[in-house]
Amino acid sequence: MIRLGKFRPGPEKCFGEILKKRKPVFRPLSSFKMILLSFLLPGGLLLVATPARSQEPVFLSHEMTGRILSYRVRPGDILLGIRSRFGLSLSTLVRENAIRDPDLIHPGQILRIDTRHIVPPPPGDGILINLPEKMMFFFSRGRLVLSAPVALGKPSRPTPEGGYRVVSKRVNPEWMVPPSIQEEMRRQGQEVLTRVPPGPDNPLGHYWLGLSLPHYGIHGTNAPSSLYTMTTHGCIRLSPGEIETLFGKVSLGTPVRIVDRPVLLARSLKGRLYLEVHPDVYHEEEDLPGDFFRWLSRHPGLRIDAEKARQVLRDREGRPVDVTRPDS
């Protein structure tokens, strides 16, 4: 964990894997754009509403987690697994290590891995998940004690933003397959399952943290290579090791905040400014550069190299980049 120091005064400080009867959550028409998607559910159509942001478009922070490290490829490693384990994009991993064929890494090969992420300012103790960042942060007594990459809902089943609480904890949960996923299995020619007992074939893994939003939760996985992707039915997946650690630290009633902020900015103790930008598959057409520079115009004390910032906003590689002006 890298402490970056407090901001100076001025800038504001700022599942369902089990989806039995998901109901649409709507906001006033002036505050959201809506995507309507049809699914064969017992109750008919499932309407998925993707809210537009009405808050400030940039997260200001004073903390980063992770580091730049050298990783020696182990027997059996694949790039997708390395990507998921460390939480970085596959394209960045390939480009920064000059990998011509992702299928041809070999044991003993040394890879440069950048695991850094800007930590969003927490609203308080508890679990914070930033959707575009595909990261989970757990705070206790005002300190970050755990951060980890997660898998989140695909665009047709987005993980919902909002404030929730942990309302249940289960070890070795049974998965009751919801009718909507049974229908997906049927359409894809797979064996249709109605329940999956605890064990290696259970996609919930060994631990389940149920949220106050019915049928949603945070759980483990039997497919670790799916981490750091948006491929679930709305669930929040953690690696087997990380969910075990989190399960032991979380109690019933723990707050869970899910936010959607693709742009994060942090300032170090030495005054360096770091910009981290992620693709946002839930709001693809939004004008992130325009939103960022309009926001920046209201914070003239942040001395940012505009051209570097534009490049970071174009690339959206999901890693912190120093965008401090040379004369700062």
Contacts of 29 (CB under 8 A, 6+ apart): none
Which is catalytic among the residues 117, 206, 219, 233?
A: 219
Beta bridge partners of 48: 35
Which is catalytic among the residues 117, 215, 233, 235?
A: 235
What are the phi and psi torsion angles at 306 (to 5°)? -60, -40
Q: Which two tokens stand for residue 299?
A: 């914070």
Q: What is the DSSP letter of 205?
A: T
Q: How far apart are the first and last CA of the chain?
A: 25
Q: What is the DSSP letter of 65?
A: E
Is 14 catalytic? The answer is: no
Distance CA 233, CA 228 (A): 14
Q: Which two tokens stand for residue 105?
A: 């890494």
Beta bridge partners of 273: 267
Is 219 catalytic? The answer is: yes
Angle, CA of 58, 61 and 62, to the nearest 5°: 160
Catalytic residue annotation: 219, 235
